[in-house]
């Protein structure tokens, strides 16, 4: 199994998730996992940027997302496996969510772990920080009160909420 660290970049406070996933999962599965781990609801378009073994820059996206530029030479996220891209620790990819706001995430393969533990995958094993509200609707409605709602959650409680 793969241990991945997914970090939302350019945030005021650190926001990241450490997850265990099956290497044979697709990038579509990874997208779903990120949505769950950051408690978002797939309200925006997304894509992955990766570099293959030959140092070619590749885009991986949901091919049916008509709003994306169809001239882009992109791979279908339903067909590309994580094991096609991630081969050794430190391999990485970028996940961009909400192509208007460009929420960029760094995804790093931290470790390849023999699948000896008997639990379901994927699973979040560690988390830091509350992800920003999707579209900032609640923050706009409640102002600073919104941020205060989540101030008292520990990182362990965030993991429990995700799983």
- Report the SS3 class of residue 155: helix
Instruction: Report pLDDT for 2.
Output: 96
Instruction: Report pLDDT for 141.
Output: 41
d(CA 91, CA 117): 23
Is 146:139 a contact under the CB 8 Å cutoff?
yes
How much is the average pLDDT of 43-60?
89
Each residue's pLDDT tens digit, 115-161: 776 667 899 999 999 888 776 544 534 445 555 555 566 777 767 76
d(CA 98, CA 67): 12
Residue 48 main-chain phi, psi, to 5 deg: -115, 140
Confidence of residue 1 (pLDDT cuts 50, 70, 90): very high
Instruction: Report pLDDT for 140.
Output: 39
Alpha-helical regions (H) of 15-109:
27-37, 82-85
- Report the SS3 class of residue 66: coil
Residue 22 main-chain phi, psi, to 5 deg: -75, 130
The candidate with the shortest Cα–Cα distance to 25, out of 16, 15, 33, 17, is 33
Instruction: Report pLDDT for 12.
Output: 81
The candidate with the shortest Cα–Cα distance to 61, out of 10, 37, 103, 26, is 26
Q: Is the dihedral of CA 25, 27, 32, 36 positive or negative?
A: positive
Query: Does position 7 have pLDDT exceeding 70, yes or no?
Result: yes
Q: What is the CATH number of domain 2-162?
A: 3.10.290.30
The residues facing 128 across adjacent strands are: 16
Is 1:22 a contact under the CB 8 Å cutoff?
yes
Each residue's pLDDT tens digit, 77-88: 999 999 999 999
Q: Where are the domains of the chain?
A: 2-162
Q: Which of 19-28, 55-64, 151-160 has the highest mean pLDDT?
A: 19-28
Longest CA–CA span in the chain (Å) reads 49
């Amino acid at each position: 199994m793969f241990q991945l660290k997914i970090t939302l970049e350019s945030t005021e406070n650190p926001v990241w998730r450490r997850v265990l996933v099956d290497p044979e999962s697709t990038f579509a599965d990874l997208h779903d996992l990120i949505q769950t781990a950051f408690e978002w609801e797939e309200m925006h378009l997304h894509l992955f940027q990766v570099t293959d073994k030959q140092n070619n820059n590749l885009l991986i996206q949901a091919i049916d997302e008509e709003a994306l530029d169809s001239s882009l030479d992109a791979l279908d996220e339903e067909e590309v496996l994580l094991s096609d891209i991630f081969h050794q620790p430190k391999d990485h990819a970028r996940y961009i969510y909400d192509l208007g706001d460009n929420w960029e995430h760094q995804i790093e393969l931290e470790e390849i772990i023999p699948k000896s533990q008997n639990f379901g995958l994927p699973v979040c094993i560690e988390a830091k920080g509350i992800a920003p509200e999707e579209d900032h609707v609640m923050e706009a409605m409640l102002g600073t009160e919104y941020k205060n709602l989540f101030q008292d959650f520990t990182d362990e409680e965030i993991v429990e909420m995700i799983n």
